[in-house]
Structure 1
C-alpha cells in the first residue's frame, strides 16, 4: 500500500508535523529523506530494507560514495543530498557552540566533537581554540594519523595557539576502533601539551576521546 493511502496519523510527514521529529523511527525519518520508494515498496519499506542492508542508521549515513550508490533505491543524487544535510548539521552545532562559553555547554561540546570526528576511518587529533573567557575562536584538525595512532607535536600546537591568540584549549581525537577508553599514550601526550602550553599561560581545559557510542572526558575523570 502506498503511503498516501495510509491513515494520516501514520504517514511520516504528517506524523512529524503533529508530534515532532523525535517521535519518528529511524525508518520513518529516512523515508522522509528518500521521498519515494521503489516498485512494490513504499519509502518506509525501502528505508527498512536499507537499514537492514547497512546494519543500522549510522553505517548508512557514514557509507562511502561507492557503497552508498550501489544500493537499490539510492544513487549519486541521494548521496550528494545526504552529505549536504550532514554538513549542515555539523555547521549548526558549530554555530551554537560559537555563540557562548564552551564550558557552560558540555553536552554541546561533546555533540560537536563527535559530529566532527566519529565518522572518520583514521585517527585525527583536533582542538577547540578558546579565548580567555572560554568562547570559541575556532575548531581545527591538527594532526592526522593512521588507523592506530597519530603523532602530536606540542610545539606546533603552542605555535598555532599563539597565532590565534588562544587563552585556553580543548583537545579531542577519535579512536577508529570505536573504543573510547583513553590509552596511556593519550594521557602522556595530554600532559606534554599541558606543560608546553602552560609556558605561555594557555590552559588545557579538557581532552575528549571519541568512540562509537561514547565520548570520554579527561576532566570528568580528574585527569586534568
Structure 2
C-alpha cells in the first residue's frame, strides 16, 4: 500500500473515532462537521475529502457497528445448541443495543428510506449488502430453530418480517430510553427475556399453522 493511501486510511479512522466520541458525549444530531473536524485535529475541508456530509459519517458508523454486531451474533449462535440459537441471538442483540443507545438511535435514523436515498451509490450498496447478509443469517437461524419442520422460502420470509417488526419495537424502546411504561417493579433484563420468549413462541406458533395448513395466508 502506498504511503498516501495508508495516510488517507489512518486519517479516515481518526475522523470516525472522533465522530463516535463526540456523538456519545453530545446530541449527535446537533453536532456540526466543523466540530467533528476540530476534534479530529484537521480542517473542515480535509474532512469533506473523506465524508461529503454528516449523514455519510452516520452511515459509515452504522455500517461498521452493524457488521461488528453481526459477526458477534454469528459467533454466539455457533456456540449455542441448534434449537436455542435464534433465541440466544435475539437476546444477545438486545443487550448489545442497550449497551450503546447512541448507535441504536443512529441505526434507526439510517434505516429510513429517505435517508438512504441521500447517500452515495456506493454507500447505498453497502447497506443493501448488509441487509442481505442479515437476512441470510437470520433465515439460517430460523431453519435451525424450526428443524425438522421445513418451510418454503416465502413463509420463512414472512416469519422474518414478523421477527424484524418485534425487534424494531424493542430497538425503539432502547433508542428512546422509554422503559418507564409501567408502575410495577421493572427490570430491563426481565423485559428482554419476556420479549425474546414472546418472539420465539410467536414464530413457533405461526410456523405450525403454516405447516398444518399449506394454503394458510395464500387466499
Q: TM-score, normalized by length of structure 1? A: 0.34
Which structure has greater strand proportion? 1
The answer to which structure has the higher helix fraction is 2
Q: Per chain length, whose mean CA-contact separation is higher, i.e. which structure has more relative contact order (CA < 8 Å, sep 6+)?
A: 2
- Taking structure 2 as the reference length, the TM-score comes to 0.35
